[in-house]
Chains A and B, each alone.
Chain A
Amino acid sequence: MNVERSPHDVPSAAQLVESVREWLQNDVLTSTTGRVQFHSRVAINVLAMVERELAMGSRQSIEHASRLARLGVASDVELASAIRAGSLDDRIDEVVAAVRASVVDKLSVANPTYMRRDDQSS
């Protein structure tokens, strides 16, 4: 996030989310069982995902836009339509590489350890 331009005081959005995640981890998880504990664990994972998106999202948006621009499309919707129509078939390797880079970005936020080691923290 672009902290310099933000009017907000500390804690930052990321630090606020982190504080709630730590409370869930340290207090809620240990004092619950069964279904509520399971849903607490899900909540912790969700907040950790939000923290990663706050940290990486801006850079990912810029890179995603430039990947799309290189393929001559303005959005994932346009890229999806072009793939479906076959209009980018003569650049299929470029298309696959761009889609793969976007998917790696998505997983870097959603679930980084799901990926092969060489795709993690790229």
Chain B
Amino acid sequence: MSERDDELLGEEGSNTILDQLDSLDERVGSPSMTRAGLAHLGVVVLVLAGLAALPYASTDLRRWQPWVEGEGVPIVRMFQGDGTTEAGMALATGGAVTRGSDEAVVATLGEAVAANLAADDEAAPAPDVEPVAPDEAPPAVRIDPSELEGLVRELEDPGGRAMRPFYEALLRTGQREAGAITRVAHYGDSSIAGDGITVTMRRLLQRRFGDAGHGFVLIARGTMPYHHQDIRHSAEGPWDLDQLVRAGRRDHVYGYGGVLYRAGGGTTARFGTDDRGPVGGSVSRFELWYRQQPRGGRVDLRVDDGEREVVSTRGETTEDAWHTVSVPDGPHRIELRTIGGGESQLYGMVLEREGPGVVYDSLGMVGARARRMLGLDPEHFRAQHGHRQTNLIVLAFGGNDADDVGRTPEQFEDDFRQIIRLARRARPEAGCLLMAPLDQARRDDRGNIVTMDQVPVIVAAERRAAAAEGCAFFDTYEAMGGDGAMRRWFRSNPRLAFGDFRHATPAGYRVVGNMLYRAILKGFSDYLTQS
């Protein structure tokens, strides 16, 4: 490449390939040459067609058949779409194409799901909720019917009592009682670990009832993609992780969030409020959750740029412990450093405010199956929830269980009944909600995206387990659209599911969050009416 060539965008007519094209243009083939060329092409097409026909000889080769009955007539079917074949490209448009027309979205997803697409007023901050004075009458709490618009599916609670403790707490929060914090612990698999559904729930509930802080966060990121939104959180250094999903601890102690972090020294973790989100901008109390033990190490805490405070995790007995750091309500950050002296064993950090308001703990564990929860020591779990004063425990498992093709419906039901009992024992004072998994899909032998066989089996098992154990149930699978939902979500514009057909996109999780929020709000509305 000469310097002159390198200088600019090239000289006019310098494109050698176009120059070559000009010379090719001059060539003219004779009709006989063309006939020979066409004959050649014809033979290629015949051989290809013959080979493509071979798989039709046996149904075992169905996977390799280019077309089968029921797939629509090629070409003709292209004219039967909804004009949104561009779906899925929106991510790459940089705004050029953001979503399909409303009609097309409704046609793909159904009206009910489409109604939950809107991130209504997502950026609006949660209003400051001041507690009422002791001599003041509490405000009436009611749910306006407009707040329930877009309700796809209600909670199933045949006994009508599973959610009552939660609604009672929510009512106190709604009445702005001083210090009335309603706490939700939402356990689940990777669909929860990314804080997609839970961030929607947190934002909506906090905007409606008050922001009482972000809640519980693991010390460091566990298995990716665990992360939380509306908070600043980072960690460095060689943390050793004992994870519930991988079991291994003989004492079955993994903490409230399912992960125990161990370090001798030289590791750090930072937690702070984030003013970029609609909630989570303030905190008035940091609470370190840890395991006290005879060989415990020391932890250094520093709020903002203030003085360092050393916390020893050493104690004569081995038990769960907590250390609280109070700060004036507002934006703050806290840095935690392990400084040796033994091994520090930490569970997580809580960021809270005085309330009234809601705190929504997102407690996802990547790769978790329902029965993994049974690896927790029940007493330890009870102590953790007792301290947390949880008002509602949500259990959202089943997505990974869909891979267990060998398990029977009875085994699934037994799994779910056991984890409900575990939660019940851990916090009898709390409400209980079992949440069905998202539709889980796979490609069939024709390349079509189809719901995995075990999904409806698991959903049915969860429904039975919830009814038997007195736990409420939310049928996420049916709310998404039931059989084939993941395919429709993948094809919709905006795209709501990823190409692994197991996870939703952030927009998809927001839809699920919106649907769950409205279902809970409807239940609360009914509770208010009845009481």
Q: Do A and B bind each other?
A: no
